[in-house]
Structure 1
Amino acid sequence: MVQVRAQQPANTDGSINLESWLGQLQTLAPNASRAALEKACAFAQQADGRKGQTQSGWGEHSSCFQTGLEIAEILADLKLDDDSLMAALVYRAVREGKARLDEVQQCFGAVVTKLVEGVLRMAAISTSINPQGPAVPGAESQVDTLRKMLVAMVDDVRVALIKLAERTVAIRSLKEASEERCQRVAREVFDIYAPLAHRLGIGQLKWELEDLSFRYLEPLQYKKIARLLDERRLDREGFIKAVMAELSAALEAVGIKAHISGRAKHIYSIWRKMQRKGLPFSQIYDVRALRVLVPEVSDCYSALGIVHGLWRHIPREFDDYITSPKENGYRSLHTAVIGPQGKVLEVQVRTHAMHEEAELGVCAHWRYKGTDVKSAALSHYEEKMAWLRQVIEWHEELGDIGGLAGQLRLDIEQDRVYVFTPNGHAIDLPQGATPLDFAYRVHTEIGHRCRGAKVGGRIVPLNYCLQTGEQVEIITTKQGTPSRDWLNPNLGYVATARARAKIVHWFKLQAREQNVAAGKALLERELVRLALPKPDWDKLAGKANLKTAEDLFAALGAGDLRLNHLLTLAQQLLEPRRTAQLELLGSKKAAPAKNIRESDIHIEGVGNLLTQMAGCCQSLPGDAIIGYITQGRGVSIHRQDCPELLQLAEREPQRIIAVDWGRAPAKTWPVDILIRAFDRTGLIRDISQILLNEKINVLGLNTQTSSSDGTATMALTLEVPSLDALGRLLSRIAQLPNIIEARRQRGG
């Protein structure tokens, strides 16, 4: 009923006859380069002679070379290109540790290497999944998550096809395998790879994968259906070919141009329909089926008449989905007839446009049989599946799958990443998620007690950006609690609202006195680092709509207020010791007027004047600023706490003018920062990398090293777009090893 493992042409000594095999392969793929295939075969044979790092698990008579040949045969039948065939031949050698990727790169180039590397990434499915284990609380279906993760990994459709072929060979080889291996591989194929082949529209693989996995998962049901069929699959396919020829001749005789395709329904599909509809085998009328595609709607009904004229129609087995489409928009005519030899035959008739809509639109066959068709928009996963499937169909017409993938690939953003827990469960997270987000996704207590993380066995920072396919292990402590630094957006510890809400909730439950002390310390530390003056706490509380400074600190400590928001409010307040002088400055400003135009600086009451930034204090967008009218050089812009400005205000208060930042400053601004660190090799390189990542330009750099205490002091002049960007930059630098402090200098 199903295909068994392919037998390779052999020499008299039992070895594979490579010349005969290459001849057979080129029959399937006439355009394949024999020289390229010979080179890949030689590579795989040589690698097979090495001692690998892992067991193949393909049976005692198997080898990575033989497996590569079988994978290549399947891909040749799918008419894939030379790069795909070469990748198939060498993949198992790399997978089993008998060859290295750099060797593949040297021998076959970047394209083949990328294909092999892509299939290796997808191999995480085989080594890590545990579909029958306990699910992560709150997680969606494991198999559904795994399918989405698998698709998210694929940037080249050929990667998915190679992996499907490899899994097909794997399940074909199970005849003499242990019961445990049969169950594991069959479950993996049934849950992951058969649905993938189905959604890609590769029927020839989908049917085989479903039948083979069904054979091992439900052996009694499989044998029962096989006996009921009472004929071999090849006989059924022969029957289909005969009725296709008969119907084609009848349609041609009346001038209907039709494209007819047929199939013999496979065993699992028969069993599934019997279970779903509660029907006995005798009432399954689509064991054998034809599909007729015609140009016009009127041709559909004409063709239907021809079908009913050839064979006797079965009562109550006719559906007109053209006049009354299905809820998802699917349109077609379905009928069941008694065909030649008294065998039941289902016939579907539709136009080419209806078929395209059913196959590629929102009512495609793979959607209306297993998904929520009421959703108005395709998800990222479904969009990528549609792209993969469309590339395959274009390839069938044009033959260049590699070029098509590059030219026609949709610019689909990967909005999710899919990672594994240590016991093999897949978890999906938003793009940019960190190990701390992962910890809170698994369990709140794991997040609270998190103190470190390993990704792929190596320790990473808690603000590491997770990538699809990685395995994450959280390091916890028995009595751990969250850190308030986790809520600082500049440090990048959490990217999900879920994790942030859990952290905030924990702090809300703590004693008010602890929150007050922690909030005050956090705010004071950040003001010092950004060289901002300490505001009047009660006034700051008022601007935050709170009654007292204690309420302000408690809200910050509990996570109800964000640090960046308070810093913005603090910039709008003045230093307490300068209050009298600043009130004087405020008394000199004219009545507010409309903003003349949106620009970097707008001046209240006097319109648009020439402005320049004072070099003494180096104001940044977000700083509280004020203007001083110069003689012949327009308005000089100072920070409101600038010592030089305050002296000018005492001497010439009439020259002081109120100014404010425009709505969308487009410039960058110079600022001086100071970094102190214990000197080490690579320190400047690491700082430069952060500046590069943050897109910060360096105007000046001065470094001094002290031999007495081994410290280095760096003074940098940078161009930054805003105070928020500066805060984020200083936080990133402070996280580097050996850094003592990183802060804005008071004069800048």
Structure 2
Amino acid sequence: MLRQYELVDRVLDYDPDADEALLNRAYVFSMKAHGSQKRASGDPYFSHPIEVAGILTDLRLDDETIATAILHDTIEDTVATPDEIERLFGPSVARLVDGVTKLSKIEAQSENERAAENLRKFLLAMSDDIRVLLVKLADRLHNMRTLHHIGKPEKRRRIARETMDIYAPLAERVGMYEFMREMQTLAFEQLEPEAFQSVGRRLEQLGEGGGDRIGKIASGLRLALGRAGIEVEVSGREKHPYSIWRKMAERHISFEQLSDVMAFRAVVPTVEDCYRALGIIHRRWPMVPGRFKDYISTPKRNGYRSLHTTVIHVENARIEVQIRTPEMHAQAEYGLAAHWAYKTPNGDGGKVRADANHSWIRDLVEILDTAGSPEELLEHTRMAMYADRIFAFTPRGELIQLPKGATPIDFAYAVHTDLGDQAVGAKVNGRVMSLKTVIENGDQVQILRSKAQAPQAAWLNIATTGKALAAIRRHLRHAERDESVKLGRKIYDDIVRRLPAPIGTDALPQALKRLKLPDEAALMHAVARRSLSDAAVMEALMPGSAGADVANDRGGDRGSDRAGAMPQAGAISIKGLTPGVAFDLGDCCRPVPGDRIVGLRRPDAGIEVHRIDCSVLGELAERAEGETDWVDVSWGDKADGGVARVQVEVKNEPGALGMLATIIGRHGANIINLRLDARDALYHTNTVDVEVHDLHQLMRLLAALRAIEAVHAADRV
């Protein structure tokens, strides 16, 4: 463990202006606060925050960050309070400590809710000041270094899995590859001990069999570049066990088949030297096609820059070579911490925010604002943080980074939320493509937009990024609520007409108070979703009108709803409301405008509309007896659009199916789905879902189908 003077001297070595008194106070306070607490290893607990601070001195971080590391466990694990930290160490350190503090004491109903709340608070703190993330990563790295002292294997595996799933990808996200590699190696040892030992043995055998192969290859690279007049530092290493194991698993190959287990790094003075060195290496040794990556012209999203190539060296050994400048190397090893600016005034109360290379943090904060549930938050943030990336370009040449498998929907939302909401198509490399098209690395994408467009539920099956999915779901939630309010207004008007006498202007505000609802929209939403029964609304509007004290009835059964109430005054029009949002059309009977219909209303669900002669209607009502409310509904004047299902028996001969499609098209109907149900020597039976305007169009279509020779029978299902 570092002694007090050793830690302070480390900081003063790289930052002579550091606040020495702050560091000394933090050291003494933490040591006293943790007192006699012990770690699983038997060491004093105080040793952990000091070692975390030591890790951060290797990154040359500022005095406030080092003090935060020393104090980061005091609020949770000791009697110290946030107010005490702020009084002794200032508001900036107190804010950082609060951001880093583990959030295990949060009370929540489920593991997902607790995990989501932890993640929410951590991400908000991280976006407010990125130093929170640096301390957290150092904290986790030291915990992983001492993980073997924990006695319970299941606890070690749980911590290792959390590290592999969250903290190692976070370290990669901010370019701290040394942290990432060590975390992955230590977690891999716990999660897959047999694989870890097997890969380790193979690496030892490889080293023993070839002598100092890495040293010899490094010397050869250094000699080839030196002869060309390039000043270079070359180092080599074997790839770490987890990286090797993952490649073996992804490619389904054995260790012997894995060619590039050695990686070499050539550090040259300038960017121009990087490309010169690349040309020399490719002239000297054959390159492996498809293994060259230029991260200098197109940096990774975390700011990483380097040239990567794989060449075939002597004895057919494939080696990976990374070529970079010293600045790129510092960024590659320590990422966000490599370009630290000490005590640089930023006009923001000393906060240090993420730069342009870490815009993904802003995306995460946007997701926090739009996620509808803990599960949704966890899903979207993991997508945003951990997916492999590709590069695509806007027509103006702006670089957009996306996960593999992304579509134009994801691209549009990555550019701007409004562009995503209004997307109708895309041009990919100049060709008009659908929104389902998977974008490839290097594609140029232009989004086609329309102000009349709005996000569709089907987009949830197309989008892959957390930002896009969160925006689509947010829009759909708002649209569903708006449609529910419209429908609730129509049902409410019918309820008012059933009251024994007209109501005054004060009746509605008084009803909201009695029902403890915040506003009129909340009432209409509750009426549409039947979280309030009609009788409860009537009683709230006009006490005594429902024949019983049911003002607080939430849902209620149909019997209580009709107690002392007048029957429905008239059919409720569903014209202007959106199917699938305000109400659902029954899949069993698929009603279209012109059909006589009835609505089935259940608590906390939308109205389900069925044809009046639907064969399963009675069964549905019986199954939900006591919870079902029948609603008389109508299409309204000039209602348009619906999908009907028809079954057509067609002769088993060439051209018959084409004739079927031709007749449907000539009648202005659109085939949504077609399924072959049965086939024999004479006929084949098809179920066809067709989009029609109304019942009249459907009847004309069926008559036309029955009239052609190729069709044996055509009926609505």
TM-score (ref. length: structure 1): 0.44
TM-score (ref. length: structure 2): 0.46
Instruction: Report the structure number with the largest CA radius of gyration.
Output: 1
